[in-house]
Amino acid sequence: NGIFKKARELTVLCDAQVSLIMFSNTGKFHEFTSPTTTMKKIFDQYQKALGIDLWNTHLERMQETLSKLKEMNNKLRREIRQRIGEEINNLSIEESRVLEQKIADSLEVVRERKYHVIKTQTETYRKKVKNLEARHGNLVLEFESKCDDVQFGFMESEEDFESAVALADGASNLYAFRLNQDHHHHHHHHRHHPSFHDQVQHQQAAAAAAAAAAAAAGFGSHELRLV
């Protein structure tokens, strides 16, 4: 604070142009410039007074770096063109051999990546298929259980019976196997109203016929669609 106070006093009392830059031991930056000037003007006056160029060395290094980057860029562009078969007429035998080896190495990397992708996708699809097969097996067991219950009359309630019959009817619809129930129902409607026991026997016969027709048609249980 004392140094900056002195700088301000010099600016006011002596009408001097002062520029002060300071870094503390912790790396904190401090600066002061007289209100009548700027930091750039101070540096310009300093270079003019001493006859030196503070930026010359820095500019030269920047130009050298730029030149190296341009050369590297041109070399990379030339290698890219050569790898696609351009600008190879003037290559020597050794240069041609080196280029061939680079292309072979690149091809090997691409091939390994391709095989890795194929292997990963294959494993993913195999897991999906295994999962679908397990789900299919569960559905087949459930369907066969429902069919057995309907066929042998092991229903404990009317609701269970109707659920199993609906499952069997769905299978018969899938195989385009339809009993002419409308005609059968119309025939019974004129004769008498069937009891619940008669309905059970009728649905059991329909379900058994549907399952037999599906088996005779060569359809698998996995092709059933429940509706």
Give Cα 29 to chain centroid, integer Å. Answer: 47
Does some domain include residue 26? Answer: yes
Domain of 25, in residue numbers: 1-52
29 falls within a domain = yes
Give the best-scoring range by mean pLDDT among 48-57, 118-127, 189-198. Answer: 118-127
Kindly state whether residue 10 falls inside one of the protein's structural domains.
yes
Residue matched to tokens 């769905």: 170
Inside any domain, residue 221? no
Q: Is 166 within the bounds of a domain?
A: no
Residue 72 lies in a domain: no
Q: Lowest mean pLDDT: which of 15-19, 116-120, 203-207, 214-218?
A: 214-218
> pLDDT (tens digit, 9 = 90+) per residue, 27-36?
888 888 998 8
pTM above 0.85, yes or no: no
18 inside domain: yes
Angle (CA) 130 212 141, round 5°: 30
**Tens digit of pLDDT for each residue in 186-218?**
444 444 445 555 655 565 566 555 555 555 545
CATH number, domain of 47, equals 3.40.1810.10
Helix (H, G, I), strand (E, B) or coil at 32: strand
Number of domains making up the chain: 1
Q: Are 31 and 21 in contact (CB under 8 A)?
A: yes
Q: For residue 41, is it within any domain?
A: yes
